[in-house]
Each structure stands twice: as C-alpha cells, then as structure tokens.
C-alpha cells in the first residue's frame, strides 16, 4: 500500500492511496459471495453460484461498489495509522482515480491546531481600580435609601416624594415602535427629581417625573414626549410616545441619620466608622475580583490575537449547528422561534447567518 499525503489550505489532508493489485480482486469476489447469499440466481442455491454467473446476473458496477465499500471500511483505520495524522472526524472518499492499480483519494479533516506566538514576552500592566471616597459615599447613600422610612401622605406630589403609579403608553402617529418600549398598566414607584439634578438617566425618559408634580392620589394625566434623533436608545430615536399615568399613592421617605445606631441597624457594627471601613474593604475586594476577571480575559485575548489557530470547515459547521440549537432552545423557552427573532431584530436570513458564523468562529478561538 502506497500513500501520498497533500496538505490542503483549509486544514484538511488529501490522501492518495494505491493498493496492491490483489486487494481489489479479493474484495470483488467477497462482495459477489455476499450478494449471491441475498439474491435469487436461477439454477443455484443461495451463495453457491460461480463468480462469473453472479457477475453477469447483477453487473460489475454492483459488485465493484460493494467491494470498494468493504476495502474502505477495512483499510481506512490502517491508512490513518500509517500517515500519523490526527483527524477531527471521519474522512470522505472523494474519488476513485484508478482501478488498475486501485487508487483511492480521501479528504480527511484535521484536528484543530494552535500555534502560540511569543506569549512569554507578553506584558500587560496590572492597574486595579482605586476605590475613592465618592465610591464609599455612594454605597452608604444606597444603604441609607434602603433603610428609609416610607409613609403614604395625602398631599400632592412634591420634589423628593415617591410616586406610586400605573403607567400605559402608545405611539403617536403611524410610525411603529417596538413593544419593548411601550407599557400597559405597568405599576412602579418613581422618585420625583429636583429640576437641578441631572435627569439624563431618568426612566422612561429624561424629565419624566417633573410631569407628576402637583398630582394627588387617584388623579390621572396624559402627556407626550418626542425623543431626539441622538437618543441613547436607537429604537426610540426620533419617536414620539403618549404616556398615561395614574397616581396610586404619594409617599415621603425619611432617611435615617448616619451614626452608630444606623451602623448597628444595617449590620454587626459597633460604630459608623467600622461600617464605613467594612464598606471600603468590600468595595476593594469586589473591584479587585472584577478587574482580575477582565485582566485574565485581556491576557487571553492578546494571546489568541497573536496565535495561529487552524481548524477544518467541518469543525466550524458543527459549531454553527450547535450554536443554532442553543439559540433555538433559548428562544423556545421565551415562546419565540427564529422567524420571530429575526423580525424583532429586523435582520434578514443573510445577516442572521453571518452573525451566527462570526459568533461560532469566535467560540472556536
């Protein structure tokens, strides 16, 4: 058996295998005997007809097909062993280039191969985030808000009050708006902001709570808002929405004093200073953990960017299939399918398949 090996560009190998002359003849006679056992040939018991009779009865092509299948099944493991290649999966018989001598051509996908760059000289500065006094104060204020005493009051909505509302909204005009940005009898509680405060992050749009000033429990109000063309949420850019609000209750919140008693209320701390120290240590630990995760990933990304990663097309095809199945399961749990998903995303089949291919390629790195 003679084997010629050719490395292909797509991380596959072409094997041209030339067999000894008696291999094909022996396989053809074995195939004929097996065919004779399953085929009725007039004048002969099953499996007893001579080779020439079987050949004439079923045709040489049938015998040859079975003989080649048997040779491939029997000899393929030996071929792989002799070439010392590491296949990703089963190869395919691409061509029978000759019958005398028998010469078969196989295409075999190779297992993934990673050649690292000069990673030993890699240097990435380690610069964890420093915790500032502002970070500590922000956490303390959050604790203070969480422990505030909330009371329902009878007066109209004022600055720094809490408004418990039921909210509904709909588009103004004929321009469609994605349902995720619209609300139907949605109940929530909002803080009515001071006009001097930065309202840019206010929900559902900057300055929303100012529309509630002066309203009392049981009152309703409808107003519209048009989002500018540069708004941070693309799906709302240039859109106009009508909002209907019913005030369910107006509440005040009384913040506890930041003292030793407060520290003892929120945890096992004797003094406020010890609470502050604990908050600082926790923030440092959290920041270090988050930075380390990002730092490790940045090292890995840098190594991958400098590495030479090779894999056959079959590996990418399998990864794409696995990715699709995972996405399909996730969508199914939400009552969705691929068609609905593409409509929501406003993408066509070509863009959808391109996204999946790119995501799959990234997963293989």
CATH code, domain with 157:
3.10.50.30
Residues 102 and 178 in one domain: no
Mean pLDDT of 252-265: 93
Domain with 58, as residue range(s), is 2-111
Residues 59 and 94 in one domain: yes
Least confident residue range of 133-147, 233-247, 298-312: 298-312
The tokens 């730092």 sit on which residue?
Answer: 295
Specify the pLDDT at position 190: 92
Residues 212 and 290 in one domain: no
Kindly report, residue by residue over 194-224, the tens digit of the pLDDT.
Answer: 765 656 678 899 899 999 999 999 999 999 9
Residues 23 and 103 in one domain: yes
Position 39 pLDDT exceeds 90: no
Specify the pLDDT at position 127: 85
pLDDT over 70 for what percent of the chain?
98
Bridge partners for 186 per DSSP: 167
C-alpha span between 260 and 271 (Å, rounded) = 4
Residues 172 and 246 in one domain: yes
Total structural domains in the chain? 4
The model carries a pTM of 0.52
The tokens 């045709």 sit on which residue?
Answer: 59
DSSP-assigned states of every residue in 64-107: HHHHHHHHHHHHHHHHHHHHT--BSS--EEEEEEEETTEEEEEE
Residues 231 and 361 in one domain: no
Residues 41 and 9 in one domain: yes
Rg (CA), the chain: 37
Specify the pLDDT at position 196: 57
The tokens 């295998």 sit on which residue?
Answer: 17
The continuous run of DSSP H or E covering 288 comes out as helix 272-305
Chain-centre distance for alpha carbon 38: 52
Kindly report, residue by residue over 347-363, the tens digit of the pLDDT.
Answer: 888 989 999 999 898 88
Q: What's the DSSP call for residue 208?
A: G
Specify the pLDDT at position 304: 77
Q: What's the DSSP call for residue 110?
A: B
Mean pLDDT of 308-328: 91
Domain final position from 213, 232, 254: 254
Residues 250 and 184 in one domain: yes
The tokens 């509630």 sit on which residue?
Answer: 212
Average pLDDT, the chain: 90
Kindly report, residue by residue over 266-293, the tens digit of the pLDDT.
Answer: 999 999 999 999 999 999 999 999 898 8
Kindly report, residue by residue over 331-341, the tens digit of the pLDDT.
Answer: 888 888 888 88
Least confident residue range of 22-26, 98-102, 111-115: 111-115
Residues 131 and 272 in one domain: yes
Residues 94 and 229 in one domain: no
C-alpha span between 108 and 77 (Å, rounded) = 12
Q: Are 119 and 303 in contact (CB under 8 A)?
A: yes
Residues 6 and 105 in one domain: yes
Position 136 pLDDT exceeds 60: yes
Residues 142 and 284 in one domain: yes
Position 47 pLDDT exceeds 80: no
């Amino acid at each position: 058996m003679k084997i010629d090996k050719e490395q292909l560009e797509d991380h596959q190998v072409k094997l041209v295998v030339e067999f000894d002359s008696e291999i094909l003849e022996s396989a053809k006679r074995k195939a004929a005997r097996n065919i004779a056992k399953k085929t009725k040939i007039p004048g002969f018991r099953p499996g007893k007809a001579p080779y020439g009779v079987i050949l004439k009865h079923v045709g040489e092509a049938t015998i040859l097909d079975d003989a080649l299948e048997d040779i491939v099944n029997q000899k393929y493991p030996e071929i792989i062993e002799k070439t010392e290649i590491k296949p990703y999966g089963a190869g395919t018989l691409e061509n029978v280039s000759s019958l005398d001598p028998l010469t078969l051509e196989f295409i075999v996908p190779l297992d993934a191969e990673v050649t690292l760059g000069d990673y030993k000289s890699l240097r990435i500065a380690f610069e964890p985030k420093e915790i500032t006094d502002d970070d500590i104060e922000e956490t303390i204020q959050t604790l203070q808000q969480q422990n505030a005493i909330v009371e329902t009051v009878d007066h109209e909505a004022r600055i720094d009050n809490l408004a418990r509302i039921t909210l509904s909204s709909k588009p103004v005009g004929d321009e469609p708006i994605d349902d995720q940005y619209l609300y139907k009898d949605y109940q929530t509680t909002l803080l009515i902001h001071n006009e001097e405060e930065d309202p840019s992050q206010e929900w559902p749009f900057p300055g929303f709570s100012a529309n509630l000033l002066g309203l009392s429990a049981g009152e309703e109000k409808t107003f519209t808002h048009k989002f500018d063309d540069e708004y941070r949420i693309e799906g709302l850019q240039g859109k106009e929405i009508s909002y209907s609000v019913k005030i369910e209750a107006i509440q005040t919140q009384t913040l506890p004093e930041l003292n030793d008693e407060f520290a003892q209320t929120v945890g096992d701390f004797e003094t406020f200073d010890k609470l502050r120290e604990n908050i600082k240590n926790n923030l440092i630990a959290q920041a270090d953990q988050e930075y380390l995760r990002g730092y490790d990933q940045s090292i890995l990304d840098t190594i991958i960017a400098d590495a030479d990663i090779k894999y056959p097309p079959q590996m990418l095809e399998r990864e794409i299939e696995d990715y699709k199945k995972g996405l399909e399961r996730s969508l199914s749990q939400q009552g969705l399918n691929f068609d609905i998903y593409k409509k929501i995303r406003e993408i066509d089949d070509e863009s959808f398949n391109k996204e999946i291919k790119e995501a799959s390629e990234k997963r293989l790195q």
